Amino acid sequence: MIETDVLVIGGGPAGMNAALASAQSGAHVLLVDKFQHLGGQLVKQTHKFFGWAEKGAGTRGFNLAKRLSEDVMNNDNVQILLGYEVVGAYRDGTYLAASWSDHITIKAKKLIVCTGAAERMILFENNDMPGVMGAGAVQTLMNEYGVLPAERFLIVGSGNVGVILAYQLLQAGATVDAIVDVLPKLGGAYWVHAAKVQRLGVPLLLGRTVLGVYGNSRVESAITAKVDEKMQPIPGTEKRHDVDAVALAVGLMPLTDIFQMMGVKTVYVPELGGFVPWHDECGRTTNKDIFVAGDAGGIEEATTASIGGTIAGLAAANDLGYQDNMQAVKDNLEALSIFRTSSLSKKVLEGIERMRGELNA
């Protein structure tokens, strides 16, 4: 059994920053990640990150992951458990982490959940055929394992995930036939991300959906069609794409199973990606010992996840009496609110407001 002050689940940007903030305050932290390395989604990102220059913007995602994970590994207050997934949670603060061959019991005073998100799926004919994959899966195979899973891709979804994937596929030597989106305009990607793939010759086909994929035991082609204002396919507008993979980048939903296991109140907030644990500005849920940070608390992006992780880590250590972190919490909340003055954060802010209002509903 491992006894710790703070248990952090998930070693992405939110989890690593949460672990660091608690550990630097003097708390003992156990950081658990089901993969064999820290970094979460950051390790798959080849582009330079947006944000404050003085806080690492302009650094490529995999380098941010490397730098942060080194900081975590060099901190004596952080114990890291890789290859373990927290599969059991009991309301007295006991947790069970399991690997493929082993399991460990953990006793923790505070829990910070940074489990991130899962990819959404959409319906179309033969969507279970080999060659249909989530954008994140393609990134994992390509950027972590060095395996290009196909040569010619169709990408569904023009949010940042879709257009970044298109760019990374070109970097890896694959071709991208097109990015399609059912919406009549760009589906949420930063304009500059969308512009840089289009000038490399990737067409963005708007108002178009995928009807199906076809092939002999694996994807050999995909058919898309334009949609009308009711999002229904328009007959006669079908287009055939000769691709051997279709990557789905149609949205993310927070991974919140553990909150339900723990009896924490969850709220359905479409602007945040689905069910999210109710939480205050420090990430504290309806259970005062359980915090959330990053996409698990609402789909946003890596910089806000990092700041949110820091805030939760500071607040947890503060609760345990290690040191007065309230000024540092305030500074980080201020940074977060500056970041969110962008019009790009409008939806998230609306979602947070809706979630907060649901406490007594």
Partner 1 sequence: MLDVDGVPTLEDIGKNMPRRERLEQGFVAVHECFQDIPCNPCVEACPVGAVSMKTLTSTPVIDFDKCTGCGNCVASCPGLAIFLLSLKANHAQITIPYEMPDVPQKGDKVQGLDRYGQFVCDADVIRVVRLPSLDKSSKTTLITLEIPASELMTVRSFRRR
Residues at the site binding partner 1, with contacts judged by CB under 8 A: 46-54, 56-60, 63, 67, 167, 170-171, 173, 184-186, 189-196, 198-204, 206, 303, 338-344
Q: Measured from the CB atom, is 204 or 292 closer to partner 1?
A: 204
Least distance to partner 1 from the beta carbon of 265, Å?
A: 30
Least distance to partner 1 from the beta carbon of 322, Å?
A: 31
Are 313 and 277 in contact by the 8 Å Cβ rule? The answer is: no
Q: Measured from the CB atom, is 95 or 339 closer to partner 1?
A: 339
Q: Map 166-196 to HEC letters.
A: HHHHHHCCCEEEEEEECCCCCCCCCHHHHHH
Q: Measured from the CB atom, is 173 or 236 closer to partner 1?
A: 173
Least distance to partner 1 from the beta carbon of 76, Å?
A: 25
332 membership: H or E segment, kind and range:
helix 326-339
Q: Measured from the CB atom, is 28 or 193 closer to partner 1?
A: 193
Residue 80's SS3 state is strand
In terms of Cα–Cα distance, which of 144, 143, 172 is closest to 153? 172
Are 312 and 325 in contact by the 8 Å Cβ rule? The answer is: no
Least distance to partner 1 from the beta carbon of 160, Å?
A: 11
Q: Measured from the CB atom, is 77 or 304 closer to partner 1?
A: 304
Alpha-carbon Rg of the chain, whole angstroms?
21
Number of H helices, E strands in the chain: 9, 19
Least distance to partner 1 from the beta carbon of 304, Å?
A: 9
Tokens of 138: 């393609």
